[in-house]
Amino acid sequence: MHQEPHEPDRSRILLTGWFSFPDGEATAGDVLALRRVEDALRRAGLEYDVAWSPGFRPDAPHLTDVAPERYGRLVFVCGPLHGPQIEELHRRFAHCRRIAVGTSVIDPHGPAVTGFHRVLARDAPGAEPAPDLAAAAPGLPARPVVGVILTHGQHEYGAARRHDAVARRLTGWLHGKDCARLELETRLDTRDWRLCATPAQLEAVLRRLDLVVTDRLHGMVLALRAGTPALAVDPVEGGAKVTAQARACGWPALVPAERLAEDGAAELDRWWKWCLTCGREAARRCGEGFPAGAGRDGAEELVAALQATGGG
């Protein structure tokens, strides 16, 4: 039967959560809980829409824009049931049957809770807890884990510095990559829990990565020492220590600052693909070859020079 534009479809479901509010937030757990609910509804043949926060999904349907009269049922997924945002949902969608699922109930008598016709809580006072929805969400495809080691310093290079521009281009490019990004620092600190306190701690992280993106000499060297491919950018116009060290290590995945400015995305994409394929074995061989190359780095020459002065 033909429906008028604003005639309610009592079978239509609107899925909401804290990920729907303009001032809310989307967490990985909330989004996975939503995926679990979507999977269950699809298997049951139930039609639904999802309302997203415009700050998280600018191009998706937004809670502030949807017409409440289009829906007959509203589902709130995951998170705690409290606050004026949820109370406003009850007022705006008063004609809907409203159900909360996978939520935490703090105050069973609060209006955010009592406004629902049914609450399928994950935890509530006096009730046996249920597994969180995110735990049984559909499996996710593997994504590369990428360490990012950048520097904004090195003022000793003066007018040749391109560090800020390089960092902007790299981070902008990385933002569009479907990967897990982990910001790292080569700087050690025994007082700051966010930083590694020893080289061994940093190496333990580097060994577990798929790739390191860096504009630092030691970002590249320590990644290769750990057997992890490094996509390196020299942030100094004309090339400086990063370029020299890539040559010393025989490592090809290097992008000069000038090339990044000219054809940056294509060049980075090319080395990204190489690092995640052939580069894995190349990095492993490079790391294994470092001990064998001892003596070429100047340490043995230093000993000889000191002994020649009669102090050894």
Residue 161, pLDDT score = 72
Express each pLDDT in 246-258 by its tens digit.
Answer: 999 999 999 999 9
pLDDT at 293: 67
At 173, the amino acid letter reads W
What's the pLDDT score for residue 1? Answer: 41
The answer to whether 186 touches 222, Cβ cutoff 8 Å, is yes
In this predicted model, what pLDDT tens digit does every residue of 237-283 receive, in sequence order? 888 999 999 999 999 999 999 988 776 799 999 999 999 999 999 99
pTM: 0.85
| Mean pLDDT of all residues in 20-27 | 87
Average pLDDT for 36-40: 98
Q: What is the pLDDT of residues 105-161, one digit of tens each?
A: 999 999 999 999 999 999 999 999 999 999 999 999 999 999 999 987 767 767 777
| pLDDT classification of 163: cutoffs 50, 70, 90 | confident
- Backbone φ, ψ for residue 255 (5° rounding): -120, 120
Count CB-CB contacts under 10 A for residue 131: 9
Largest CA distance in the chain: 101
As a whole number, the mean pLDDT across the chain is 92
